[in-house]
A and B are shown apart, each in its own frame.
Chain A
Amino acid sequence: MKKFLLAFTLLMGVVAQAQTPEELVRSIKSKLDRVSNYSATGKMKTNVIFLKAPIAKVQVYFRKPDQLRILNEKGISFIPKGSMNMDLSQLFIDPAGFDLLDLGNDKKTGWRIIKLLPRDPVSDVVLSTIYVDAAAGLIRRSSTTTRENGTFELEMSYGTYAEYGLADKVIFSFNSQEYKLPKGITFDYDDGSGKKSTSTGKPTKGRVEIYYSNYQINKGVPDSVFR
C-alpha cells in the first residue's frame, strides 16, 4: 500500500512537472472561478514596528472581480494599504493579459515559481511572482509589485476550503512608511527607560495575519459593504 501511494505521488509530481505555466494558471483560475463572492470571519493580527494593536475579530468580504473589504464592526483595525490584493483572483481575471515565465521549482519547498508580467503597460500590477503547489493547484506564496501600493507579499495556508482556493491563513506583508510625531504635540510620558526611537528614517515592513473561518461562499455580499 505504501509503495502504491509513493508511486502515485511521484506520478502526480511528474504529471505536475509536466504541466506548462499556462496549464497551471488555468487550473488555478478554474478553482478561483468557482467563487463569485464570499464572506468569512477572520482573526487578524497586525505586526508593524510602530503599532501595537490587539488581535481583532474581522469580517472579510469578497466579490468578483476585485472587491475585497476587511471590516471590524465592533472595534478598530488598521487595514494596510493595498489590502484588496489579499485575494489573488484579480490576477487571474484575464490570464492572457500576462506573459508567464517559468522559473522552475523552489529548492526548499518544491513549489513551482511562475512570474507574471502584465502586457498592459498601464496595468497597476507591475510584476507578480507566484509560488504554486502544482499538485494541489494552489498558490502558496506571492510577491507582487503594484504602482499604487508598492510591493506586497502573501503567504497562504489551506485547509477546509482548498477546493475553492480559499486559504485558512493569509500572511500579508507590506511596506509601511516611517511614523513619527513631534514630542511637543504628543507630550509623551518619559518613563526613564531610555528606549530609543523605533524610527529608522526608512520605510519598514509590516505584516497582517488573518486566520479565516466560517466561509460563506457564493451566498451573496450586500453592496453596502463596499461603499
Chain B
Amino acid sequence: MLALLWIELNKIFRRPRTYIAFGAMAAIVWLIQLALYFDGQAYVDLLLSNLSGSFEFSDLFKTQLLNGYLICFVILNTLLIQMPLLVALVAGDSIAGEASQGTLRFQLTRPISRAQLIFVKFAASVVYVLCLLLWLALLALLGSVLLFGVNDLVVLRSTGIEQMQMDDVFWRYLAAFGFAAIALTTVAALSLLLSVLSENPIGPIIATMSVVLVFTILSEMNIPIYDTTVKPWLFTTHMVAWKGFFYVQADAEGATVRGSVENLPAVLRSAGILLGYIALFLWTSIYLFRRKDILT
C-alpha cells in the first residue's frame, strides 16, 4: 500500500500544475501581507470604526493590534474560498484525469483492487492537503509573525470581540490548522467522488467549486426555514468551525479565560460531521468505482 501511495504522490508532485496551487497561495498571502504592511493602518481604522465611540485607540494600540497573529487570521479568512479550489485541482483530477489520459487502464489491469486504488488516491490527496496547509502555515503564520511580530490576537465576530493573550494564541493556530486539514479533506473526498463519475477532470473541479460556493452561500444566509433544516447538515457550515478555536470563554466579569474554547463540544461535533462526510464520500466513491465500466 505504501508503495502505491508513493506512486500516487509521485504523480501529484511531479506535475508542474500541482505547484500552481502553491504558487497561487504564496501570491495571495504575500499580496495581503504587502498591502497590510504598507496600508495596515487604514485596515485597522476600518476594523475599529465600529468601536471608536466607546474606546480610544492610540497609535501604539493600532500597531499592536496589527500583529502577525491578526494578519494570519485575516489571511485564513480570505483563503476560505480559494483553498477548496486548490484542493479540487488535484483531487478532482485523480480519477477523471487518468481516465482522460488513458492511464486508468494502465492501473486497473494490474492486481490492485479498485477499492485499494480509491484509498490510495484519497490518501495521496490528504498528503497533498497537509502539504498545502503546511505551506500556508509557513507563509501565513510564520511569515506574518516574522514581518509583523506577535501580540494579543483580537478577533472580530458579528456580535462581539474576542481577545486572546499572545501566549494563548499559537496552540489555537495549531488546532485550527488541524481542523482545516479535516475540512479540506472533506473537499478532497467530494472531489474524488465527482472524479469517479467523470472522464474529464474539468468537470469534477468545477462541480466541486460550485457545490462549495452554493453551500457556503446557504450556510451564511439567515433564512429561518433553512436554519433549522438544511444548514446544520451542510458540510460548509462546519468547515469554518476552525474559528471556534478563536472564540474564548469569559468569566462572570467578562475576562477571557486563558486556554479556553467557548464551545469546544460544538467544534468537535463539527469535526465529527466532517469526518462523517468524508466517510460517506469515500464509501460512495468505492461503491460507484467498483461498478464503473472503464471505457477509456
Task: With both chains docked as a complex, state the minimum distance between the C-beta of B83 and any C-beta of chain A, in angstroms.
Answer: 13
**Residue in A50, A77, A83 whose Cβ sees the most chain B Cβ within 10 Å:** A50
Task: Tell me if A54 and B158 are in contact (CB < 8 A).
Answer: no
Which segment of A4-12, A127-135, A157-165, A187-195 sits at the interface? A187-195
Known A76-B154, A176-B54, A192-B266; contact A187-B163, beta-carbon cutoff 8 A: no
Instruction: Give complex CA distance A189, B232 in Å.
Output: 11
Task: Tell me if A191 and B253 are in contact (CB < 8 A).
Answer: no
Known A81-B55, A180-B158, A192-B266; contact A54-B152, beta-carbon cutoff 8 A: yes
Task: Tell me if B162 and A52 are in contact (CB < 8 A).
Answer: yes
Interface flags for A24-56 (1: CB within 8 Å of B; 0: not) read 000000000000000000000111111111110
A75 contact set on B, CB distance < 8 A: 64, 151-152, 165-166
Instruction: Give complex CA distance A54, B255 in Å.
Output: 5
Tell me, yes or no, whether A109 is within 8 Å of chain B by CB. no
Q: Which of B152-178 contact A (CB under 8 A)?
A: 152, 154, 156-166, 168
Task: Tell me if A191 and B263 are in contact (CB < 8 A).
Answer: yes
Instruction: Give complex CA distance A186, B47 in Å.
Output: 11
Known A48-B254, A52-B163, A181-B156; contact A187-B80, beta-carbon cutoff 8 A: yes
A-side interface size class: 35 or more
Which segment of B130-138, B235-243, B283-291 sits at the interface? B235-243
Task: Tell me if B54 and A81 are in contact (CB < 8 A).
Answer: yes
| A-binding residues in B (CB < 8 A) | 50-51, 53-56, 58, 60-61, 64-65, 77, 80, 151-152, 154, 156-166, 168, 219-220, 222, 231-232, 237, 240-244, 247-250, 253-256, 258, 262-263, 266-267, 269-270
